[in-house]
Amino acid sequence: MAHLDDQHSTHPRPCPAPTPAAAFVPAPASVSVPLRIPFPFPELLGHGLRLRPWDPDSEADVDAWLRGCADPEFRRWNTPIMSITDADTARESLRSKAAQVADGTSASYRVTDADTGTTLGHIGVNAIHPDLRQARVGYWVLPEARGRGVATRALALASHWAHTELGLHRLELDHALGHDASCRIAERCGFRYEGTLRGAMFEAGRHDAFRDMHLHARLAMDPEWDVS
């Protein structure tokens, strides 16, 4: 995808022809191509966190999902296609996530403290494409857990697993323009800024207007960052 740094120009620059080095990126020998996505997905442990799959039949999970999706700060930067306003819609949303997990297109995790089991937030490895070996990641943190590096640690843990265990080559992460905190989290975990996606998400609280997003990505051969 082209960079859109000159997005106000009516005559965008043509894309340069790729150099031989840029045109071919070999996969590292340590990363194998999986024949299929494993199911069920395992729990992940590291960086003081435990990531475990969400359970739509758990009242505690439904409550945590509802609190996260109803949080004003979450709604400031995200407008879910499915409106989540009560326990019933939260459970329906989690069941939709569980269906995606079952067909191998998403790994949706509840982020918990490894010692206490307290729920801290969510991280998902979504839109998994085993043939192209790529996916998209997203996350949120509950208000009481912010300021402790939870999103950074969860992103580092999930990304390492996606690259080394699933064998994914490319992970993408995007966020609303102006969401500086999410931008810093992406950069701390080695997700490089790649450009601006114009009108790629709904405006806050609306389904009739759009706003721009920043796109970040990391490859399996990119160096891992120390987030401890």
pLDDT in tens, 139-164: 999 999 999 999 999 999 999 999 99
Average pLDDT, the chain: 84
Q: Does residue 22 carry a pLDDT above 50?
A: no
Beta pairing partners, 217: 172, 192
β 107-113/210-219 pair status: unpaired
pLDDT band at 179 (very low <50, low <70, confident <90, very high): confident
> In which order are the strands placed within the sheet that holds 44-46?
44-46, 49-53, 107-113, 119-129, 134-141, 170-176, 210-219, 192-202
- What confidence score (pLDDT) does residue 36 get? 56
- For residues 219 and 208, the answer to whether their CB atoms sit within 8 Å is no
Separation between Cα atoms, residue 154 and residue 39, nearest integer Å? 21
Q: Is residue 9 pLDDT above 50, yes or no? A: no
Q: Are 77 and 175 in contact (CB under 8 A)?
A: yes
Identify which of 127, 124, 125, 137 has the alpha carbon closest to the alpha carbon of residue 105: 127
Asked if the model's pLDDT at residue 23 lies above 90, the reply is: no
Q: What is the pTM of this model?
A: 0.82
Of 117, 213, 218, 202, the C-alpha closest to 160 is: 218
CATH class of the structural domain 43-219: alpha beta
Write down the pLDDT at residue 50: 98
